[in-house]
Amino acid sequence: MRTLLKPTGFVDSPFGHDGKVARLAGGLNWFASVELIRIEGRKRVSADLVPVEGLESRVDEDMARQWEALTVPREPLQLGERTVRLDQPQVMGIVNATPDSFSDGGQFVDAASAAAAGADMAAEGAAIIDVGGESTRPGAKPVWDGDEIERIVPVIRQLAVGGAAVSADTRKPDVMAAVLEAGARMINDVSALTYDDRSTGVIAAAGIPTVLMHHKGAPETMQEDPRYEDVLVEVYLWLEERVAAAEAAGIARKKILVDPGFGFGKSVAHNLELMNGLALFHSLGCPIVVGASRKRTIGALSGEAPADRRLGGSLAFALKAVDQGAQIVRVHDVFETVQALRVWRGLKDQALTPRV
């Protein structure tokens, strides 16, 4: 049996609560309670809610490690000359240079238009621009490496020359090498470095940040009746294993980000359970990336609204994520998300302003 720590009981500020609250991952969120989730194998068997104030008397060595991971500040990401702070939520803008992505496939007919869209996102407040050249939507077929490189390298080169912090959404080591040469300074891998064993070597040698995302199955079949005994626990343990594997391959933990993989081999119920339990993933000690923008779950909850009419649901998920301390939200609608987070930040700043 093992116990996992999930922070909860979030409060607006620490004032007047000395010793009774803890700061989550060095960010703008404070929590007063911890849910002690006992697991056997890969599922929950019981849970207790305990106050932060009395937690020390109940922790073993593994729980103490998780507690440290929950509370230690996340180091800023260094993407070339750009520094992305993680003591506040940041926006990652999505540019899909593909003909078949579920939301914006075929929108950018050439590299210039895709790069211009990315530059606009940066101007609107996106800290990172994530450029992809292979759709991994449900049912998507793999793209040849050469085609993927041809699609995204010119976009990345233009954005990097323009001063943007650029991430590449790819799972292939040859593509990784090409985009790094073009100016990308972060890799967002939907396979969590499992698609090709050579990928870890590319990332380790480059010394760049990388996002490890949970998935279940290949894109072609991942949405064909996905099943879990306990989706929150299984995704947590899978990511824990992938983080350990990345570290063993020479990738520094401070360079690793995790993404629970909203919509990648998960039903609507699975996605909602992961979003409700998102704070658990902080005990992995890595920044959390959430990509729920325009996903099908929003349509399923809103009369099957098409992808281009899912802004409200996307904002709801983004705010739910940052309320649980997520450091990066990956979105299509940058202006609206940045505005929502600025209002969220204003509320936090007011709560954290000492009363005279």
Cα of 127 vs its chain's centroid, Å: 14
From the candidates 157, 255, 330, 348, give the one annotated as an active-site residue: 330
Contacts of 40 (CB under 8 A, 6+ apart): 1
User: What's the confidence (pLDDT) of residue 57?
Assistant: 79
Q: What are phi and psi of 174, to 5 degrees?
A: -70, -35
Other beta carbons less than 10 A from residue 242's beta carbon? 21
pTM: 0.94
pLDDT tens, 68-86?
A: 999 999 999 999 999 999 9
Residues of the chain with CATH 3.20.20.20: 77-351
- Mean pLDDT across the stretch 37-41? 96
Question: Which amino acid does the sequence have at 137?
Answer: R
How does 210-231 read in b/e, with b if 16+ C-beta sit within 10 Å? Answer: bbbbbbbeebeebbeeeebebb
CATH assignment of 77-351, among 3.40.50.300, 3.40.50.2300, 3.20.20.20, 2.70.70.10: 3.20.20.20
Is 295 a known active-site residue?
A: yes
235 and 214 Cβ atoms separated by less than 8 Å: yes
pLDDT tens, 75-134?
A: 999 999 999 999 999 999 999 988 755 455 556 768 999 999 999 999 999 999 999 998
pLDDT at 218 over 80: no
pLDDT tens, 269-324?
A: 999 999 999 999 999 999 999 999 999 999 999 999 999 999 999 999 999 999 99
Is 255 a known active-site residue?
A: no
User: What's the confidence (pLDDT) of residue 217?
Assistant: 66
From the candidates 295, 309, 320, 345, give the one annotated as an active-site residue: 295
pLDDT tens, 130-178?
A: 999 987 767 777 889 999 999 999 999 999 999 999 999 999 999 999 9
User: What's the confidence (pLDDT) of residue 135?
Assistant: 78
